[in-house]
Each structure stands twice: as structure tokens, then as C-alpha cells.
Amino acid sequence: MAELSKDKFIIEGKESSEAEAIVRPSLTYWADAWRRLKSNKMAIIAMTILIIITLAAIFAPIFSSYDYRTGDLLKTNLKPSSEHWFGTDELGRDLYVRVWEGTRISLFIGIVVALLNFTIGVLYGGISGYIGGSVDNLMMRFVDILFSIPYLIWVIMLTTVLGSGLFTIIIALSIAGWGGMARLVRGQVLQLKEMEYVMAAKTLGADAGRIITKHLIPNTIGVIIISITFAVPTAIFSEAFLSFIGLGIPVPNPSLGSLSNDGTRMLLLEPYQLVFPALVISAVMLSFQIFGDGLRDALDPRLRQ
Amino acid sequence: MSEKKLEGRKNIIEVNNLKKHFKVGKGQILKAVDGVTFSIREGETLGLVGESGCGKSTTGRAMIRLYEATEGEVIFDGMNIQRLNRKELKNFTKQAQMIFQDPYASLNPRMTVGDIIGEGMDIHGLRKGKERMAKIYELLEIVGLNREHASRFPHEFSGGQRQRIGIARALSVEPKFIVCDEPISALDVSIQAQVVNLLEELQEEMGLTYLFIAHDLSMVKHISDRIAVMYLGAVMELTTSKVLYDEPLHPYTQALLSAIPIPDPEVERSRNRIILEGDVPSPINPPEGCKFQKRCKYVKDICREKAPELREVKPEHFVACHIVK
Ligand SMILES: Nc1ncnc2c1ncn2[C@@H]1O[C@H](COP(=O)(O)OP(=O)(O)OP(=O)(O)O)[C@@H](O)[C@H]1O
Ligand SMILES: [Mg+2]
């Protein structure tokens, strides 16, 4: 191994310029993820369903001539017809408007809770993981304690303090939910900050701000987005469960959960009153799940071919 | 191998009794680096060799202040790097750089190659806009890639190409000293020679100083002017490459050398192999006295009592061993 010079190495069968050429087109992470998501038919169908449901939840109540609060006592428990597409309930309220208004409230709760979880979780988990050591230890024990209290307890406690309502439910579900995101982000940061590319940035003189914004966040954002996608249906379902057991949104405001609850009471007489809210909530849950799975496949670079 | 004239050159970096201990839970202390002393002259390549886990990377990282040293000092260009203020530290990061071991973990997968190479210039505000791009293209060409690669992402490159990108990144701030932490260990043998050649060319052209880390003596012989052999956080022997190969004095160095096959069947057959018994002991609670005692066949009572100091037994030849006279 005494004399090693460049001219002793020849790349056989290829021009040297060719050897350095790369065949695959250069795509950014996001373009590449979108390409993969598009090729996943189920995920695209789920995404389309979610968009349609969201649009219906926003616009259907606006363009309907009925109001979701006021009923016509002469027209109770009507079957679906051209006048009342989903029929009416026992107070004579139009169910079509109520279902979409309920969807609107449920989606609102799901999205707001997911965003609150995201903001608190990313900040808390990010700081905990970045500082590390005993600070990290202390911060995570606090999360463990919070996490060990079920959200039902939070709802009951907060309802006694704040009264029942949308606000209470959002706060309760967020308190119970952000810990999961914090743990996830903390784990990611703890792992990434030991990566050699973070060391390289430090060696080049990068400060904490730069390391966080240029290196840590871009490399965790995929996992975070996936997690948010799954947090939305979880919150919707938790709210539905609370409404179902009577701890949810107070009347006359509907949510998909309270509508289903009303529907079950009339199940034997008027089954359609359960069918429509149940269909929407199932479609929302299933679509979020399938879309989330698709996103995970698209955003997770470990699955890159 | 080119013989460089190194006598009379001044030291660019001095490491004095450097220690780096990690707390590893339950009051246990892991002594990754435990009292290392050496210096590197301007334009020199010092090879740092030792088995996996003996503290080579930790030494290299403490030397560029990626780790705070537990004890001891690192003097770079006359400055104690532990005592730098913010501004001085930032200036230091321009002069001392590192090339990393794992070409797959050392490049941020979300950044383009151009931004990876340009990061140093961005941090120090060295060049902007067109000038910055021009420098990135220049660096890419220097390391044997081409300018079209600037807009691509790391995953599109092979291990050897990635290592070249890592080299370009280190060069972007025009450093004087580079820690090469096993830059070729993860590469194919044919690519290893190319990367070593590149590093040598760069050294010649830019007057760089290297600490070249490897776990295998055969990898550093070619590139190093002097070699330090490390074992369990301590330097066992330090001398010029030639002397280390021809007259190794420390029993550990002798064992390492005899593990390298010689490409001559006659010699190879008649050779007496020294087989090291046992595994490297854990750096958590290492033995009192000489670190190598458990695997040394010449071990005496004094080796268990007192850690040997690194002594200059011949000019330019340092050994830490009670047995060597
Ligand atoms: N951050 C850390 N915390 C705790 N222990 C560490 C840390 N970094 C390194 N160590 C330990 O210190 C010892 C020396 O590690 P180091 O990475 O310096 O070895 P090395 O000689 O570079 O090995 P390799 O050839 O495998 O790269 C090892 O036992 C390792 O487990
Ligand atoms: Mg190492």
C-alpha cells in the first residue's frame, strides 16, 4: 500500500462523467411525498371524502332554509323526504341541518384540540429533548403524572368549575392529549440531536436557533403531521363518547355524538335518525384513519424506494 | 509516501492531560478519555488508532469543543479553547472542522447538497448570493463532484460521494485543522483509496493539518506522519509512522501490527502472530494502574499499581509502559 495515485484507479465500462451522473429526478421531500400520496388510491379517496364532508359541514347549514335550533312541532319524526332530506327529529327539527351543524362542531373540536396538542406538545417536548439531562427527566415525569389521569376525570372536574360547553370539552381533551405529542417530539429530538449532521452544524458554529429550525424541525415535521392527522379523529371520537353519555355539548347544539345518542333512543321506531349521524361519524373516522396511514407511508422516508 | 519535513514547525494544537468522563447513571462514571497528551504540528497528519470504543471520537470531539472536557486543556494556536468567549468560539469554529464517520448520518436529509455545503458560509456570513453559489460550485469541483449536484439531496448519492460532500462542507469555512473521524471506515476498499488521495491532495494544496482517526493501523500508515495508539482512553505509544511499523515498543502496538496480514506468503507463514487474549475491558471503572494490564503477557506487579506515563524513550518515540526501558 506504498504508492496509491489517482491514475491507478480506472472506472471500467463507464465514462467518468457518466459515473457521477444520477438518474433519478431530483425532488424535494414534499414533492416526493405528494407523488407517493397521489399513487395511493385509498388515501386519495379518503382525502376527497374528508374534503366533501368538511365543505358540507361549512356550507350546508348556511344554504338551508331551516334552523338547527328551532323545530316545527307539527312535523315531528318525519321520514326523509324531498322537503326534509334526512327527516326530522322528535322536536320537529330538520335533521339534515342538524347533522351538518353537528359535523361542523365535531370537526371544529377535533381540529382545535389537535392544533392545541401540537403547539403545546411540540414546544414542551422540543425543549425537554433539546435540553436533556435532569430538566428533561423532570419535565417528562410531569407528563407521566398528567397522562395517568383519564380525560373523563378532567371533563368532570372542569365541568364543575367552568360549566359544560364547547370550551370545557376542548380544554379537557387538550389537557389529556398534548402529553402524547410531547413524548413523541421529545423522543425524536433526543434521537436527532445526536445525529452527526447536527454535530456538523455545531462544528460550523450554528447556534441553537439554527439547529432547531434548520435541522431538528424539518426532520420531525413528517412524524408530527402524521400524529396530528390521527389526533383529529381521536378528539372527535372522545367528544362523541362524552356527548353519548351526556357530558358533551349542551342542547340545543348538536354534535355527531349527541345526534347519535338521540338517534339510539328512537332506534326501534325511527331508525333513520341514527343512520345519518352514524354514517357521517363513521365516514369521518374511517377516512381520517386511511388518510393518516397514507400520509405515513408518504412522509416516512424509511419507506422510500 | 511523501516524507514531509516537520522538524522546526510549530504546534497548531496541543492536548494536555485531556479527560472526558460521562456520567452513565447510578453514580457510574465512564472514562471515555482519561488523560491524553499529544500535539500536532502545522501541516502534519497525526493518526489516532485504537479499537472500537477506546475514545478516539471523544478525543476528536473534545478537541474542537463539541464536548466540554472534564479535565485538562486543549491549546489551539496559543489559545485555550475551553476559555473562549462567544465571539472567539465562533472564530474558532472557522478554523477547526470535522469530517464524520458515517456518511449516511452526517448529511441532513432535508437539505440540498448546496445548502449543506453553504451552511458554514451562511453561519459566518462569509458569502452571499452569487458569490456563495460560485464557492459552492468550486468546492464541489474540488472534491470531485460537479456543480449540477448542488440542487440534489443526500439520499441520491453513494457513500463515497457523500463523504466528498462532507469534505466540501468542512472546507467551506477555510479551516486550518480538520479532525477526520474514521472518514473511510464505512466505505468500500476501492473508494477508501480515492478519499485518502483526495484528503492528501487537499492537505498539500491548502496546508491543512489533520487528526486522522481509524480503528486499524493499516488505514493510517499511508496518510499519517506520526501515529498515536490509543487503548481504553489513554495513549500507549506515539511516534512516526515508519518507526511505529518498524520498531513498535509497546506490547499493544506489537499485537495490533501482527494482526495486519503481510502480502507475502513466505513472510506471512513464518511470522509469529501475537494474539490478544480477552476483550477490551469496560471504560466504566477501568483497572487501577496500566489500562492494558489485563491483556498484557508481560504484566508485572508495578503495572497493577501505577499507571505508566508517556515517556520519550528515544527521540520522537513516546511509550507508556513500565516494561519498555
Ligand atoms: N455521549 C456519551 N455518553 C456516554 N458514553 C459515551 C458517550 N459518547 C461515547 N461514550 C462512550 O465512550 C467510549 C468511547 O467512545 P468513542 O465514541 O470515543 O469511541 P471510538 O474510539 O470513537 O469508537 P469507534 O471506533 O466505535 O467509533 C465508549 O465506551 C462509548 O460508549
Ligand atoms: Mg468513533
pLDDT digits (tens, 9 = 90+) for B203-262: 999 999 999 999 888 888 889 999 999 999 999 999 999 999 999 999 999 998 887 777
Overall average pLDDT of the B161-177 stretch: 96
Q: Which residue of A has its CA nearest to B101?
A: A196
Domain assignment present for B49: yes
Domain assignment present for B325: no
CA–centroid distance, residue B67 to ligand 2 (Å): 14
Domain assignment present for B142: yes
Q: Which atom of ligand 1 is closest in space to residue B24's alpha carbon?
A: 4
* CATH number for the domain harbouring residue B245: 3.40.50.300
Poorest-confidence range of A130-134, A225-229, A268-272, B130-134? A268-272
| Pocket mutation for ligand 1, best pick of B18, B31, B34, B58 (most atoms within 8 Å of C-beta) | B58
pLDDT digits (tens, 9 = 90+) for B293-320: 988 888 899 999 999 999 999 999 999 9
Q: Rounded mean pLDDT of chain A?
A: 86
Poorest-confidence range of A18-22, B18-22, B277-281? A18-22
Domain assignment present for B125: yes
| Number of structural domains chain B divides into | 1
Q: What pLDDT is stored for residue B234 in this prediction?
A: 95
At A101, is the pLDDT very low, low, confident or very high (cuts 50, 70, 90)?
Answer: very high
Q: What pLDDT is stored for residue A19 in this prediction?
A: 47
Domain assignment present for B134: yes
Domain assignment present for B225: yes
Between the ranges A17-21, A22-26, A70-74, where is the mean pLDDT highest? Answer: A70-74
Q: Quick check: A82 pLDDT over 70?
A: yes
At A80, is the pLDDT very low, low, confident or very high (cuts 50, 70, 90)?
Answer: confident
- Quick one: which of B166, B87, B168 has its CA closest to B124? B87
Distance to chain B for A221, nearest Cα, Å: 11
Q: Which atom of ligand 1 is closest in space to residue B50's alpha carbon?
A: 21
> Domain extents for chain A?
39-63+96-303
Domain assignment present for B211: yes
pLDDT digits (tens, 9 = 90+) for A239-252: 988 888 888 888 78
- Quick one: which of B25, B286, B319, B44 has its CA closest to B176? B44
Measured CA to CA in angstroms, residue B10 lies from A297, B44, B50, B73 at distances of 56, 10, 26, 18
Q: What is the pTM of this model?
A: 0.82
At A2, is the pLDDT very low, low, confident or very high (cuts 50, 70, 90)?
Answer: low
Overall average pLDDT of the A209-232 stretch: 91
Query: Residue B16, Cα to own-chain centre: how many angstroms?
Result: 16
Burial (CB < 10 A; 0-12, 13-18, 19+), residue A45, is middle
Q: What pLDDT is stored for residue A304 in this prediction?
A: 46
Q: For B314, phi and psi rounded to 5 degrees? A: -135, 165
The interface predicted TM-score of the complex, written ipTM, equals: 0.90
Q: Which CATH superfamily is domain A39-63+96-303 in?
A: MetI-like (1.10.3720.10)
Domain assignment present for B324: no
Residues flanking ligand 1, CB < 6 Å: B 22, 24, 30, 32, 50, 52-58, 215, 283
Interface test mutation site (partner B, options A203, A303, A304, max chain B beta carbons within 10 A): A203
Q: Which ligand sits nearest to residue B33's alpha carbon?
A: 1
CB B99 within 8 A of CB B85: no
Residues composing chain B:
325
Contact call for B98 and A4, based on CB within 8 A: no
From first CA to last CA, the distance across chain A in angstroms is 38
Contact call for B101 and A196, based on CB within 8 A: yes
Contacts of B89 in chain A (CB under 8 A): 205
Spatial neighbors of B120 by CB under 8 A, at least 6 apart, are: A204, A205, B94, B126, B169, B172, B173
Q: Quick check: A36 pLDDT over 60?
A: yes
**Structural domain harbouring B201:** 3-319
Contacts of A26 in chain B (CB under 8 A): 151-153, 156
CB B107 within 8 A of CB B166: yes
CB B308 within 8 A of CB B250: no
Contact call for A203 and B97, based on CB within 8 A: yes
User: Would you call the peptide bond into A252 cis, given omega within 30 degrees of 0 as the criterion?
Assistant: yes
